[in-house]
A and B are shown apart, each in its own frame.
Chain A
Amino acid sequence: MSNSLLEIANLTKSFGGLQAVRDCTFSVAEGQVVGLIGPNGAGKSTVVDLVSGFTRADAGAIRLDGTSLVGKAPDVISRLGLIRTFQTPREWRQLTVMDNVLLARRRFAAESLWRSITRARSLRREEEADREAVRAILERYQLADLKNELAVSLSGGQKRLLEFARIAAAEPRLIILDEPMGGVNPVLGSRIGDAVGQFAADGCTVIVVEHNLPFIERTCDQVIVMDLGEVIAQGPFAGLRANPRVVEAYLGMDQSHV
């Protein structure tokens, strides 16, 4: 038994003539925060889609705690304990903030059509514990006063916080954040950094796809660098500046600022 939560081996995916991910191999240890960086088109988002089941791999293996994820549908993978975000927040727009986070509690058994009709009252009673938990989460993410507002009416920053509140409510084992800092101002950015730290403190494993290198340096234990569909380096952030391939492919001009 290794202590890797996520293991990816020889993962390959082509779109037409374009090899988006080629022979990609890396693993993520349980409880770590890992940054996945690389230039645009490096294949990061494709890897996220492959791991979460939104895209089907051509070849290779993906294992979450020993269970193969290849060929599994996104909802099945999610039920195994993986929650991912998308580059833009995908809130359920015409539902309230409260309902958005309640849905993230994932009480699948209560969502049966038959039970929803025949046992409406007892379901509502059972839900009260979840509502209590969600209220506490909303409080933590400064959304408590907005809980009865429709998600569509939130500002861009509040939608980011809602995304984090949903993840917190889901209590996943593995979280993949796809560019959580996109379009985020510095104050909110530090709050997002705190949220990632909180997930790690709660025992979650986190993968962060991000271009914001200071954020990666601050939050991540390990960094994986991709370029042209391949993993070109893996290790602590500090070591990357010494790696000529990484500097050439990605850090480039930014090196002096990092």
Chain B
Amino acid sequence: MYWVSVVTEAGIFAILALGLDVIWGWGGNFDLAFYGYLALGSYMTFVFSIGKPTNSSTEYIIGWHLPVLLSMLLAVVIVVGLAAIIGAIALRNLRDIYFAITTLAAVYALYLLVANYTPLFDGFNGVYGLINPGQAALRLTYNGYRIVLLVVVLVILMLAYLVVQRLSGSPFGRMLRAVREDERAAAAYGRKVFTAKYRAYLFGAAFAGLAGGLFAIFISAFNPSAWTPQELLIIYAAILIGGRGNPRGVIVGVFVVYIGLIELTRYLPSPASRPDFSPALRQVLIGLLIILMLKFRPAGIFRERPGVDPEQSPSLAQPLPTVAPVAEVTADDGGAE
């Protein structure tokens, strides 16, 4: 059952990473608020579905008793709403590091608000009580339920992959990558740079909201210790290792980093006096892996696949000249002004 749980978690993070890859991999925006969207998606799924607080010492907003699927849907809507606000501020005029810092500030503000303002999501106690929704209705054992949950997560991941993969090769995906490569040239060819990045941002955030809802069902409790902003850096590492911009690579990257590194290092012997040895080693290994990837395979395991035009051009129908004339001519650029 342990491995069922590990693969389920990796599957949820893969959905999250697919969304982040649209924002960062295709759109080029290094978003640090992204894990906050997962957290909000999780919180909102709880408060829509678990009902009113059962004792006087806990408090949180809303407290409805909606079906869990509807709760997740509403949570996604609210996450996209928050992304619409943060994106409108951060994407309009800010680029690169300025965009990243603004989103980091936004997620820290959200984090501090959630942690300290208890009427919202009960502060550090967090929200809980979404325990295996639907288990009774489906007449499943606990283990059976966990396996069904795994299958559901993998099916959703598959659907998410199909949507993103389709978008990746579409005119929208191509246009977004052009914006990433050169905004000014994209504008010079009529592209609305902000609108393109904004749409991609909201689209990616929806994936984070969905992943948050699944995460809520998966861990049945959520509090601020579950979402330190550092978690996001592991997702970035996974995208980088798997292949930024390539949906298949992103999924592989998440499974490599989560299962290959985080889970396998659990089996390493840890000195009894140092219980923090394994977690520390994990961080070191992730860092090392990033450095090695950037050095030897910067495009990742699967590189971003440019749209290949399969049609043979007329000139290719005949045998190629050994040296293309243009290449010959331009071999010594700057020879004359």
Within 8 A of B (CB), among A26-67: 52, 54
Segment at the A interface, from B38-46, B100-108, B114-122, B172-180: B172-180
Which residues of B are found within 8 Å of A91, using beta-carbon distances?
A: 181-182, 185
B179-210 CB contact bits vs A (8 Å, 1 = yes)? Answer: 01110111111111100100110010000000
Chain B residues numbered 117-169 whose CB sits less than 8 Å from any CB in chain A: 163, 166-167, 169
CA A113 to CA B200, docked complex, whole Å = 8
The distance from the CB of A237 to the nearest CB of chain B, in whole angstroms, is 18
Q: Are B178 and A127 in contact (CB under 8 A)?
A: no
A79 to B187, CA, bound (A): 10
Q: What is the 8 Å Cβ interface bit string for chain A, positions 167-188, against chain B (1 contact, 0 not)? A: 0001000000000010111111
Residues from chain B with Cβ under 8 Å of A103 in the complex: 174-175, 178, 189
Q: Are A158 and B313 in contact (CB under 8 A)?
A: no
Complex contacts, A145 vs chain B, CB 8 Å: 313, 315-316, 320, 324
Q: Is B275 an interface residue when CB atoms closer than 8 A count as contact?
A: no
A218 CB within 8 Å of chain B:
no
A68 at the binding interface (Cβ < 8 Å): no
Chain A residue numbers with a CB within 8 Å of B178 are 92, 95, 99-100, 103
Among A73-131, those with CB < 8 Å from B are 73-75, 78-79, 83-86, 90-96, 98-100, 102-104, 106-108, 110-113, 115-117, 120, 123, 127, 131
CB B223 to nearest CB in A, in angstroms, measures 34
Is A233 close to B, CB under 8 A? no
Structural contact, A95 and B324, CB atoms closer than 8 A: no
Interface check B271, CB cutoff 8 A: no
Is there contact, CB below 8 Å, between A113 and B326? no
| In-complex Cβ contact of B313 among A127, A138, A189 (8 A) | A138
Q: In this assembly, does A142 line the interface, its C-beta being within 8 Å of a C-beta of chain B?
A: yes
Q: Is the interface of B mostly helix, strand, loop or mixed?
A: helix
Decide: A142 and B189 in contact? CB cutoff 8 A.
no
A147 at the interface (CB under 8 A from B): yes
Q: Write the B303-337 contact mask toward A (1 if CB under 8 angstroms, else 0).
A: 01011110101111000100011110111111111
Interface residue count on the B side (C-beta < 8 Å):
53
Query: Taking the complex as formed, is A10 at the interface, i.e. its CB lies under 8 A from any CB of chain B?
Result: no
Binary flags per residue of B73-105, CB closer than 8 Å to A gives 1, else 0: 000000000000000000000000000000000
Which residues of B lie under 8 Å from residue A188 when comparing CB positions? Answer: 329-330
- Known A-B contacts A78-B189, A95-B306; the reply to A139 vs B314 at CB < 8 A is yes
- CB A84 to nearest CB in B, in angstroms, measures 6
Q: Is the interface of A mostly helix, strand, loop or mixed?
A: helix
| Distance between Cα atoms of A109 and B178 in the complex (Å) | 16
With A155-B331, A183-B333 as known contacts, state yes or no: A95 contacts B174, CB within 8 Å.
yes
Is B283's beta carbon under 8 Å from chain A? no
> Is A245 at the interface (CB under 8 A from chain B)?
no
**Beta-carbon contact of A148 and B185 below 8 Å:** no
Are A185 and B329 within 8 A (Cβ)? yes
Return B122 CB to nearest CB of chain A, in Å.
37
Q: Does A235 contact B (CB under 8 A)?
A: no
- Is A195's CB within 8 Å of the partner chain B? no
* Cβ–Cβ contact B177 & A92, under 8 A: yes
**Chain A residues whose C-beta falls within 8 Å of the C-beta of B177 in the assembled complex:** 92, 94-95
Q: Give bound CA distance, A104 to B147, whole Å.
A: 49
A113 to B337, alpha carbons, bound, how many Å? 45
Residue of A nearest to B22 (CB): A113
Interface centre among B178, B189, B304, B308 (most CB of A within 10 A): B189
* Alpha-carbon gap, A10 to B48, bound state (A): 61
Q: Is A157 an interface residue (CB 8 A)?
A: yes
A residues near B316, Cβ cutoff 8 Å: 144-145
Q: A147-B309, A166-B189 are in contact. List 6 more A-B contacts (CB 8 A).
A: A75-B193, A116-B166, A150-B306, A157-B330, A187-B329, A189-B336
- 7 closest A-B pairs by beta carbon, nearest first, are A157-B330, A116-B170, A116-B172, A90-B185, A92-B181, A78-B190, A144-B313
Interface residues of A, Cβ cutoff 8 Å to B? 52, 54, 73-75, 78-79, 83-86, 90-96, 98-100, 102-104, 106-108, 110-113, 115-117, 120, 123, 127, 131, 135, 138-139, 142-148, 150, 155-158, 161, 166, 170, 181, 183-189, 211-212
Name 24 interchain pairs, CB-CB below 8 A, sorted by A.
Answer: A73-B192, A75-B190, A75-B193, A83-B189, A90-B184, A90-B188, A91-B181, A91-B185, A92-B178, A93-B182, A94-B181, A95-B177, A95-B307, A96-B308, A103-B178, A106-B189, A110-B171, A116-B166, A116-B172, A127-B171, A138-B313, A146-B324, A188-B329, A188-B330
